[in-house]
Amino acid sequence: MSAAFNVIATLIAKPGQQDTLEPLLRGLLEPTRAEAGCQQYDLHQDLQHPETFYMLERWSDDAALADHDQSEHIQSFRAKAADVIEHFELKRMKFLA
């Protein structure tokens, strides 16, 4: 079994689409936080670049993140947000100190 790890998901809205993307991201918070293995799932917006959002996450193991990735709410989000997201990046990190 893998160890707990952190994730930073970066989502950049297409020009003029940040007000559409934000509520879609907010809609992920409650169902994701209720998932087994989710230890943190927090939404942030860049103050200098308001079209950029960050989801700071902590997962108990690889299986928890894989289950999240296949969840109904993530699949629904992807379908709804496909036309408003310009860039998506997911970084997995190991906590050191």
- Model-level pTM? 0.94
Q: Across the strands, what pairs with 54? A: 10, 44
Q: pLDDT band for 95, please (50, 70, 90 cuts).
A: confident
Lookup: tokens for 90:
């997911």
- Rounded to whole angstroms, how far apart are CA atoms 7 and 9? 6
- Rounded to whole angstroms, how far apart are CA atoms 55 and 42? 5
Instruction: Tell me the per-residue pLDDT of 30-48, one tens digit each, with 9 for 90 and over.
Output: 999 999 999 999 999 999 9
Instruction: Tell me the per-residue pLDDT of 46-86, one tens digit each, with 9 for 90 and over.
Output: 999 999 999 999 999 999 999 999 999 999 999 999 999 99
The CB density around residue 64, as the number of other CB atoms within 10 Å, is 19
How many domains does one find in the chain? Answer: 1
- Rounded to whole angstroms, how far apart are CA atoms 35 and 47? 29
Structural domain of residue 32, as residue ranges? 5-93
Mean pLDDT of 83-95: 96
Residue 41 belongs to a domain with what CATH number?
3.30.70.100
What distance, in Å, lies between the first and last C-alpha atoms of the chain?
22
